[in-house]
Amino acid sequence: MRLQSVIRAIYPPQCVACDAQTEDDNGLCAVCWKDTQFIGGLVCNTCGTPLPGEDHGEVVQCDDCMTIARPWDTGRSVLVYNGVGRRLVLGLKHGDRTDLAPTAARWMAQKMANLALSDTIIAPVPLHWVRLARRRYNQSALLAQELGKAMNLPVCVDALLRPKRTNALEGHSRDARFAELSGAIIPNPKRAVQIVGRPVILVDDVMTSGATLAASAEAVRAAGATNVSIVTLARVVKDA
Ligand SMILES: [Zn+2]
Ligand SMILES: [Zn+2]
């Protein structure tokens, strides 16, 4: 019996969204699986939002990504931000559910498998230090670290800094979000040598307007990243 099997026999895997035991390796029990909207099929190549129609392999963009500046190249997201997807993001962000990160990162790794270029480095969207102190961990950094393990890629957790404390963005208009984030995120001068000349995968827990990811993408570009892709655990989708 392999060690993994022994561990599983002692601790049967639990659903990441509830406490039910699950036989599945996907991390969710059958009940939660039904209440989870995994993004698949045709997606926007820039933000990963699901689109109507069939996937014939062509590159398509959603309306938002055609009209809003997206200073990155490609993007994917795992879950629609509703039901279980929303619960997982909130648990990871506010509920100290750090145990979710390896499963979430495994899903994100599957999404990014075909987008990762050689010599890619992974970097999380940064938190301001006051918020980091209050929350004790940066959920995006945690996801980035686990994604690095899942994809066997290096991670630079402090590639970006957030010197400006921004207001909470919940409930703000898209324009207000972009204005608030403008210049709020900068490259860490101590890490520039790790970013310059390399493709970067930026990691965040959820994409709403994309303002935070845009500010982060601009910062890694300023640090010399050659190609920037983004991956989020969940994507806020209109009418979802
Ligand atoms: Zn469950
Ligand atoms: Zn899009």
Q: What is the mean pLDDT of residues 134-150?
A: 93
Q: What is the dihedral of CA 198, 204, 207, 208, to 10 degrees?
A: -120
Read off the pLDDT of residues 109-141 as tens digits, 9 standing for 90 and up: 999 999 989 999 999 999 888 888 888 889 999
The better pLDDT of the pair 27, 109 is held by: 109
Q: 29 alpha carbon to ligand 2 midpoint, in Å? A: 30
Residue 12: CA count within 13 A, CB half-sphere: 9
For residue 228, the cross-strand partners are 200
Q: Which CATH class is domain 36-235?
A: alpha beta
Ligand nearest to the CA of 87: 1
What residue type is assigned to position 226 of the chain?
Answer: T
Ligand nearest to the CA of 14: 1
Ligand 2 center–CA 27 separation, angstroms: 27
Q: What is the pTM of this model?
A: 0.91
| Alpha carbon of 213 to ligand 2 centroid (Å) | 12
Give the integer Cα–Cα distance in Å for 47 and 61.
8
Please tell me the number of the ligand nearest to residue 39's CA: 2
User: Distance, CA 13 to ligand 1 centroid (Å)?
Assistant: 11
How far, in Å, is the centroid of ligand 1 from the Cα of 16? 7
Among the bound ligands, name the one nearest to the CA of residue 235: 2
Q: Which ligand is nearest to the CA of 46?
A: 2
CA of 44 to the centre of ligand 2 (A): 5
Ligand nearest the Cα of residue 238 is 2
C-alpha 149/C-alpha 52 separation (Å) is: 33
Distance 63 CA to ligand 2 centre (A): 7
Q: How far is the CA of 136 from the centre of ligand 1 (A)?
A: 26
* Cβ atoms of residues 20 and 29 within 8 Å: yes
pLDDT, tens only, 40-58: 999 999 999 999 999 998 9
* Rg for the chain, CA atoms, rounded: 18
Domain boundaries, the chain: 36-235
154-197 pLDDT per residue, tens = 999 999 999 888 777 777 788 888 888 888 999 999 999 999 99
What letter represents residue 220's amino acid? Answer: V
Mean per-residue pLDDT, 193-212: 96
Question: Residue 64 Cα, ligand 2 centroid: separation in angstroms?
Answer: 6
Q: Which two tokens stand for residue 135?
A: 């929350």
Q: What is the dihedral of CA 87, 220, 71, 123, to 10 degrees?
A: -20
Query: What spacing in Å lies between the alpha carbon of 148 and ligand 1's midpoint?
Result: 26
What distance in angstroms lies between residue 20's CA and the mean position of ligand 1's atoms? 5
